A and B are shown apart, each in its own frame.
Chain A
Amino acid sequence: MTATTLPAAPSGVDIKARPAVARRAPRGENRAGWLFATPFLALYIAFLIGPVLIGLVISLFNTTTVKAGVGDWVGLSNYADVLSNGDFWASMWHSVLFTLLTTPLLVLLPLMFAIFASRISRNQWFFRLAFFAPYVVPSAAVCLIFAFMYTPETGLITNAFSWVGLSAPNFFGTTSGAWFAVVLLTVWWTFGFNFILYTAAIQEISEEVYEAALIDGASPWQQIRMITIPLLRPTMGLVLILQVLSSLKVFDQIYILLAGGPAYSTRPVIQYIFDTGFSAYRGGYAAAATMVYFVVLVVISAGWFLARRRSPANA
């Protein structure tokens, strides 16, 4: 892309393409390389690696978050407490349940609508606006608007149920109603991100493939099933993993809209860590919960990363 806009290299000097790896670095270049990389590395080690190591250390002490210092060494007992705690596993399950509820909707619906939208040649800006605009809205604003629409009796969504002859669930009082509320909100809020990823991938597919299929008499449905979807498979894989990872990290919507309620029945892991670490001040215990959760997330992304490197289809 950028290469085409470059000015021509000045001639007269014999510049051969050099083998980048084989050459030994001159001392000046070695120093320059480190100087360029140092600001990043310093911040990276301090604020990305740092918290991982601190979490690991703190999880072995009975640290409290109210006063400075790490407290006393307790070995692995924090981990034993976390792994045998029902509330921790309940919150883990809530994050997983949220992922199971949102991922299929947020992988398949945007795919369907991106394909539909791609069959229209005009007004693409309108779909981009309608679907992607919610993504730039802060979670708190989304929750304010949806909380208002979920208001019992007077809310717009509550009333929309009765317009089609259904009775609305109690969005704040029952667990199933609360899940419905938070899933609908999440689909509205983040739909656009996946929609844009799919749209970009669809635009990469050559028009000639479709023309050839049309000559062969393929119906639109056959075109979608035999051309578009198979060619989008790598993108679907990417959307899937990004969605699973971001759904497992859910916090904002559930905390702001429901505070994890009713009666902690929707509280996700991050809120559990937040509650035990910052409301109950059990720093060491919350750090152990953090590390367990951290390992789960890293294993999932590392697993996907390795699987993708090994499979030849996506290389």
Chain B
Amino acid sequence: MATIVDAPAGAKSPSRRRSGPEQAGKAFNRLAATCVTLFALIWLVPFLWALITSLRPNEEIAAHPTTPWSNNWNFDAYKFAWNSSPLGWWYVNSFIISTLTVIFTVVVCSMAAFALAHLQFRGKYVVFGLILAGLMVPIEALVLPQFLEFRALNLLGTYWAIIFPSIALPVAVFVFHSFIKAIPVALIEAARLDGAGWWRIYYQIAMPLSRPAISAVAILTFITSWNAFLWPLLVLTQTKSQTIPVGLSSLIGGAAIQYAETMASAVLGILPLLAVFLVLQRQIAQGVANTGIK
């Protein structure tokens, strides 16, 4: 972060005389560019292939499976996919679950982080250690006891069964903590002297100043929650109450000849998050970098 000089590679290099390494450098950079671009293009193939297939008629796919061209582009497969499975419900379920999870995670984790960063209370270090230990708990491995717990609570089949276990996220607390900790104590003391309560300091000072943390946690929680598979598979057993990933997984190994319809469903399943990603590319990458490096 300190000093990133955005010089175009080799443009204003201090050594004009030593053209040897510089020449080699340019050749190397060109080679690297070709290599990585080629690789990136290959990476896009599955997307394009799904898209192309979904727009071709099935007879044509069966006759010429590897031709990326059609004489009869059409959207029939999308109409069929939309009508033959409750995709609309899956969208609604995924959207409600992910949105609620994001809201609760951001509020609950930032409140805990605020307390740890700026409030003195008895047992604070025990709480801190507990959350730190939570970083190591692999929640995905615990689906069986989790299932028994939610059955005992009578919450199976509800949105809450998906939302509750995702809210208390130790990583999110640490992301918020590192931002809220950076707020000068003097600012908070001043607000206290002006008679502001802790709640006001939290939502009028701490929250507005940790916007990058909010967006990082919100975006990553949304992606994780939208793509969660195993737990929703166990909890939401009614076809109409399923989320996008669980619903889509039931289409695999279905009618083998409906290539276009299957790919159309896959494209429809990809679309919402891909749209979010295209709009928020930079923030998402920043968010991953922030949470990963800690």
Interface residues of chain A, those whose CB is within 8 Å of chain B, are 1-3, 5-6, 9-10, 13, 15, 17-18, 20, 23-25, 29-34, 36-37, 39-41, 43-44, 46-48, 50-52, 54-55, 58, 63, 65, 68, 113, 115-117, 119-121, 125-149, 151, 153-156, 159, 188, 191, 193, 196-197, 199-201, 203-204, 206-208, 211, 214-215, 217-221, 235, 238, 242, 245, 249, 251-252, 256-257, 270, 273-274, 277-278, 283, 286-287, 290, 293-294, 297-298, 301-302, 305
1/0 contact string of B124-141 vs chain A (CB within 8 Å): 100100110011111111
| B146 contacts A by Cβ under 8 Å | yes
CB distance from A61 to the nearest CB of B (A): 11
Q: Which of B242-266 contact A (CB under 8 A)?
A: 244-249, 251-253, 259, 262-263, 265-266
Inside 8 A of A201's CB, which chain B residues have their CB?
293
Query: In the bound complex, how far is the Cα of B132 from the Cα of A300, in angstroms?
Result: 15
Which residues 46-96 of B sit at the A interface, judged by CB distance below 8 A?
46-47, 49-50, 53, 61-62, 65-66
Hey, which chain B residues are within 8 Å of A48, CB to CB?
A: 134, 137, 139, 165, 168
Query: When A and B form their complex, which 4 residue pairs have the shortest distance between CB atoms, in order from nearest?
Result: A33-B121, A200-B289, A55-B145, A36-B115
A-B contact pairs, 19 of them (CB 8 A): A1-B1, A17-B186, A23-B120, A32-B115, A41-B130, A52-B142, A55-B144, A113-B39, A119-B9, A120-B32, A120-B33, A132-B281, A159-B66, A200-B289, A214-B25, A251-B140, A252-B230, A274-B234, A278-B147
In the complex, the answer to whether B44 meets A33 with C-beta atoms within 8 Å is: no
A36–B111 CB distance below 8 A: yes
CA distance A116 to B37 in the complex (A): 10
Contact bitstring B31-45, A, C-beta under 8 A = 1, else 0 = 011011101110111
Residues of A within 8 Å of B226, CB to CB, are 138
> B283: shortest Cβ distance to chain A, in Å?
12
Q: How far is the CA of A149 from the CA of B42 in the complex (A)?
A: 14
The number of residues on chain B lying at the interface, defined by a beta carbon within 8 Å of a beta carbon of chain A, is 131
Asked, given contacts A15-B186, A208-B3, whether A219 binds B21 with beta carbons under 8 Å apart, the answer is yes
Q: How far is the CA of A128 from the CA of B288 in the complex (A)?
A: 12
Task: Please give the residue numbers on chain B whose beta carbons come within 8 Å of chain A beta carbons, in ascending order.
Answer: 1-9, 13-15, 18, 20-22, 24-25, 28-29, 32-33, 35-37, 39-41, 43-47, 49-50, 53, 61-62, 65-66, 107-109, 111-112, 114-116, 119-122, 124, 127, 130-131, 134-149, 151-152, 164-165, 167-168, 170, 173, 179, 182-187, 189-190, 193-194, 198, 202, 209-210, 212, 223, 226-227, 229-230, 234, 244-249, 251-253, 259, 262-263, 265-266, 269-270, 273-274, 276-278, 281, 284-286, 288-289, 292-293
Additional 11 contacts, C-beta under 8 A, given A36-B119, A44-B134, A252-B229? A9-B186, A25-B120, A40-B112, A46-B164, A54-B145, A138-B270, A144-B251, A148-B262, A200-B293, A211-B14, A270-B141
- Known contacts A144-B252, A221-B28, A283-B148; is-contact A121 B9 (Cβ 8 Å): yes
Residue of A nearest to B259 (CB): A148
Residue of B nearest to A7 (CB): B187
| Given contact pairs A36-B202, A294-B138, A130 touches B44 in the complex (Cβ within 8 A) | yes
| Residues of chain A lying within 8 A (CB to CB) of residue B173 | 40
B residues within 8 A CB of A68? 151-152
Distance A214 CA – B12 CA, assembled complex (angstroms): 12
For the complex, give the distance between the alpha carbons of A142 and B43 in Å: 13
Report the bound CA distance from A58 to B3 in whole Å: 55
Whether the Cβ atoms of A208 and B108 lie closer than 8 Å is no
Q: Which chain B positions have C-beta within 8 A of A129?
A: 278, 281
CB of A29 within 8 A of CB of B185, answer: no
Smallest CB–CB gap between B15 and chain A, Å?
5
Select from chain A the residue with minimum beta-carbon distance to B24.
Answer: A219
User: Once bound together, how far apart are the Cα atoms of A298 and B121, in whole Å?
Assistant: 29
Residue pair B146, A128 in contact (C-beta under 8 Å): no
Given known A-B contacts A41-B112, A200-B289, A47 and B36 have beta carbons under 8 A apart = no
Given A52-B145, A218-B21, do A113 and B168 touch, yes or no (CB 8 Å)? no
